[in-house]
Amino acid sequence: MKSPFETFLMPLSTLMFGFLSALLLPAPWFGLALTRRLVEMFHLEDIGQLYTLVFCLWFLLLGAVEFYIVRFIYVRFIRP
């Protein structure tokens, strides 16, 4: 059974790893034509609004992947 502290740390560490990804890894870049098409398709105000959504989703996804990699290493090799 997981401790309450470990349950609390799971979403917190995902956000932390997402923030670290924001500093280390570049976000995806769409071409200008695709960017305009996505803005029209999702009925957004401007390109800045689209990239705010893209950055949030990209870094949360990277944070989740990094969390599970670090968790796997911890469970497999470090924790007795």
Query: What's the CA angle centered on 24, arms 73 and 74, to 5 degrees?
Result: 10
Question: Is 54:39 a contact under the CB 8 Å cutoff?
Answer: no
Query: Is residue 18 one of the residues assigned to a domain?
Result: no
C-alpha–C-alpha distance, residues 42 and 49, integer Å:
10
In this predicted model, what pLDDT tens digit does every residue of 22-65 receive, in sequence order?
A: 777 777 788 999 999 999 999 999 999 998 898 888 878 877 88
Question: In this model, does residue 1 exceed pLDDT 60?
Answer: no
Query: Is residue 70 one of the residues assigned to a domain?
Result: yes
Q: Which residues of 10-25 are buried (b: 16+ CB within 10 A; e: fewer)?
A: eeebbeebbeebbeee
Query: Is residue 5 one of the residues assigned to a domain?
Result: no
Domain count for the chain: 1
Query: Is residue 21 one of the residues assigned to a domain?
Result: no
pTM of the model: 0.64
Place of tokens 């769409």: 30
Query: Is residue 52 one of the residues assigned to a domain?
Result: yes
Query: Is residue 22 one of the residues assigned to a domain?
Result: no
Residue-number span of the structural domain to which 68 is assigned: 28-80
